[in-house]
Chain A
């Protein structure tokens, strides 16, 4: 078992004919992911190293049975591409694109929330289920199969923590990058719920950072609904406070959003918080045994 992506994943890549899109699609395929289609409007009928390209998601889904989409198109086209994939009935959409306008993300989130499709990202490294499937840009060679589920807002920090775990002999059920944007399609809570239900996952590692209150929300959820051990890391204890414009932000968020507030909220619900990536791996050893 794993979460979100596995050997049943049938991937369709939006932007497959772009330089990055081609590179990572082929990379995902050579890892073993079934990359069944690509979408680039106007390039239907072509192929990328044997992967058929379609003009629309609807056509790609009808022809290939794609159930997962990866979005690699530039920011100004990305929201449209996510909405198209959802409209074509794709179950899971992983948006790698960085720099999508916030109002676009807001509309996409509020639309998708009313339908069956799930979005991971944008501005994320994707999802890796070691030994099964890689959808995105996570360097898979550092990770192997195992029982630790990782969910993170940051890409490189995910690799750092995953690597520290690997050095102590731990593998991963899945690694999910939810992305660092203000309006992520999936929250910590969404992914933690999946790990809680996944029989292979025995420990959940949450890697958060300053800003927003998704870690605080996750803490409350963990306290109520999660039976598996959770270890957390929060980046940004020494980050400078952002220069805030106006009062609205302070009135709305109060003291939420600082690294300390997040760590306190998590610890109050019994989540152990490692102060360095190394400490997170040390705690994992204590919890699961070395």
Chain B
């Protein structure tokens, strides 16, 4: 679960990471009253879950009320790399002397948390790091020991920042690690960490991803909702507990287990087709899950054929067949279906489908055969 900047900063503040005061708002009027409260100048910041907000014109300094009105009006509703801005963060402006970069991330390769720090923060950090890899200092943290003071000192000294900010930067890194662990984050990134003219250090941005599997330990975080641009299919899938990823083709894909569904997408693409989605009805798919999945997929108007590819382990093919028959009654689909049912109770499942004589439904024996058939039918 990705958090908006201001939501991340709320978690930072809870753990003592210095952040600037600010207010989240959704209208120009709210933006003005927030700025009046905070005092001018303020920064008007688009709240969307994507980088490059500054370059896209989604972050503006405002010296007075008119400027806030103008910028808030322009940024609200703006589209940044495909995401519509529906929320703003109005923040007290900072006088900036230096911009650094700090992050904690899961290093899957080493199976340890990794701390990252660079004195070249701000825009283009990826390009700068590609050119000068030495600028990004990185070290692994033993999760059983935690982040030690020496880790912070080492990163700060090696990055070559001025001596007067070594201690506050080290302290901030320690607190960010505390956020990373105690909030169950899989990413905590601050770009930039700024040194202000008074030489105080502040987290000017926050990119935080919380582990969805750990939300039961963080009920307050779980309630942080984003007014985001989910498609109706995504919203419906989430409500029904299905994993759905929209793609831009016209062949609806439904399977059980992420690996098999990914493999199905690949096989359909090799047969010359374009998948419209990834949908994993999960292991142990019951009849209702199949009905819901069919509804979700067909609610996308671009879908001109649907492929159901099931290999039953825990999942029983007869239950899948029952779900599919129920879905046909509820949805009355107008597009052709290609079905491949194999594994546990496969013959029973195929027999149920044959008996039901569903209109425009084609049963295929193999995954490859099913992929070729659905590509042919989708046109």
Residues on A close to B: CB < 8 A? Answer: 75-76, 99-104, 106-107, 109-111, 125, 137-139, 142, 152-160, 163, 180, 182-183, 207, 209-214, 217, 233, 235-240, 243, 245-253, 259, 275-278
Contacts and interface: CB of A to CB of B under 8 A. Distances in A.
Contacts of B187: 245-246, 248-249
Given A163-B311, A163-B343, A247-B126, A154 B260 contact: yes
B260 A245 contact: no
Contacts of B278: 239-240
B287 to A, nearest CB: 18
A101 B214 contact: yes
Contacts of A259: 266
Please indicate which of the listed interface residues B103, B143, B217 has the most CB atoms of chain A within 10 Å of its own CB.
B143
Contacts of B344: 139
Interface stretch (B111-119, B166-174, B234-242, B351-359): B111-119
Contacts of A217: 109
Contacts of B51: 245-247
B107 interface: yes
Interface string B310-332: 01111100000000000000000
Nearest to B138: A252
Given A75-B213, A102-B184, A155-B259, A137 B313 contact: yes
B108 A212 contact: yes
Contact of A209 (B129, B181, B259): B259
Contacts, number: 183
B136 A110 contact: no
Given A183-B108, A247-B51, A160 B260 contact: yes
Given A138-B313, A207-B259, A251 B343 contact: no
26 contacts: A101-B211, A102-B184, A103-B181, A103-B214, A106-B106, A137-B314, A139-B312, A142-B343, A154-B257, A182-B108, A213-B109, A235-B263, A235-B266, A236-B262, A238-B268, A239-B262, A239-B278, A240-B278, A245-B2, A245-B187, A245-B209, A246-B189, A247-B101, A247-B125, A247-B189, A277-B263
Contacts of A157: 257, 259-260, 262-263
Nearest to B209: A245
Contacts of B257: 154-157
Given A103-B184, A139-B343, A160-B263, A278 B366 contact: yes
B226 interface: no
A147 B201 CA distance: 62
Contacts of A238: 265-266, 268-269, 275
B171 to A, nearest CB: 21
Contact of B367 (A102, A248, A276): A276
A248 B366 contact: no
Contact of B191 (A103, A247, A277): A247
Contacts of A275: 266, 270
B113 A106 contact: yes
Interface in B217-274: 217, 245, 247, 255-260, 262-263, 265-270
Contacts of B211: 101-103
B283 interface: yes
Instruction: For the complex of A and B, list the 3 residue pairs with the smallest distance between their C-beta atoms, beginning with the closest.
Output: A154-B259, A156-B257, A157-B259
Please indicate which of the listed interface residues A102, A233, A259 has the most CB atoms of chain B within 10 Å of its own CB.
A102
B90 interface: no
Contact of A277 (B111, B181, B367): B367
A250 B258 CA distance: 23
B94 interface: no
Contact of A111 (B101, B144, B191, B207): B144
A160 B275 contact: no
A110 B313 contact: no
B38 interface: no
A235 B103 contact: no
Contacts of B165: none
Contacts of A137: 283, 313-314
B342 interface: yes
A235 B270 contact: no
A210 to B, nearest CB: 7
A91 B73 CA distance: 63
Contacts of B126: 247, 250-251
B105 interface: yes
Contacts of B49: 243, 245
Contacts of B105: 248-249, 252
B368 interface: yes
